[in-house]
């Protein structure tokens, strides 16, 4: 190791670890994949909710256990304590999940405030626990007019910021008011087929990464920080 490290003087060799293919083949969890779904509208006839429910049906058929969070009653970020019951519900569901689906309407060329508020209430870390890191994510949007990708692009940025594994595929449903019947079920169309594609891909990535997401997101910089803290403590012990 010392020979390999001699050309990397800035690297802490105690924290530097070679990727281990064997660590990617750990025992597979026996429970069904756990998927949390979030949507971004409170309207009675909410097309983002309709699309989310359709996605949940598909995920259940693919073998997942699903939970859909109802954002009604969730306070604005920082307008209530984190002990608020809806905030606690959302955070517990996020911690429970192994993958997530975010589906927002596009409003004024962006995701809705309702969608953003849900994501903002999920912190990047809670002590030593990171509620979203290493979890898979699929992003979708519904459009009131022609097809757009503004909301899904923004959701991708947030997914990356939350350290999630955002799958390549995505769904954008144009003229959503034409795509659902009176009962809220989605009509057959290429838009429906794309949602099937996205949920199938989400399941594959979730099955591939769950159980090893901790290893996939283990970082040199964090190991280095931990090593430095340990070294300081040992030096302090020796001084005493």
- pLDDT tens for each residue of 110-128: 999 999 999 999 988 776 6
CA distance 90 to 95: 9
Query: What is the pTM (predicted TM-score) of this model?
Result: 0.89
- pLDDT tens for each residue of 69-110: 999 999 999 999 999 999 999 999 999 999 999 999 999 999
Instruction: Decide: 110 and 149 in contact? Cβ < 8 Å.
Output: no
Model pLDDT, residue 1: 41
Higher pLDDT, residue 166 or 222: 166
Q: What is the mean pLDDT of residues 159-170?
A: 96
């Amino acid at each position: 190791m010392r020979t390999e490290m001699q050309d990397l003087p800035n690297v802490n060799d105690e924290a530097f670890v070679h990727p281990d293919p064997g660590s990617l083949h750990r025992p597979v969890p026996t429970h069904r994949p756990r998927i949390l779904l979030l949507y971004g509208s409170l309207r009675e006839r909410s097309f983002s909710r309709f699309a989310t429910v359709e996605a949940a049906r598909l995920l259940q058929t693919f073998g997942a256990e699903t939970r859909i969070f109802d954002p009604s009653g969730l306070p604005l970020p920082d307008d209530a304590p984190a002990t608020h019951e809806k905030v606690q519900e959302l955070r517990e569901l996020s911690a429970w999940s192994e993958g997530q689906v975010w589906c927002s309407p596009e409003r004024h060329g962006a995701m809705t405030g309702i969608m953003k508020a849900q994501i903002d209430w999920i912190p990047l870390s809670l002590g030593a626990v990171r509620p979203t890191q290493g979890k898979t994510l699929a992003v979708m949007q519904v459009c009131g007019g022609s097809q757009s990708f503004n909301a899904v692009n923004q959701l991708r940025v947030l997914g990356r910021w939350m350290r999630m594994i955002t799958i390549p595929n995505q769904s954008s449903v144009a003229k959503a008011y034409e795509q659902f019947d009176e009962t809220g079920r989605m009509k057959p169309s290429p838009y429906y087929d794309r949602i099937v594609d996205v949920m199938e891909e989400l399941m594959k990535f979730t099955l591939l990464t769950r159980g090893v997401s901790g290893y996939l997101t283990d970082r040199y910089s964090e190991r280095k920080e931990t090593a430095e803290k340990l070294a300081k403590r040992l030096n302090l012990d020796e001084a005493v």
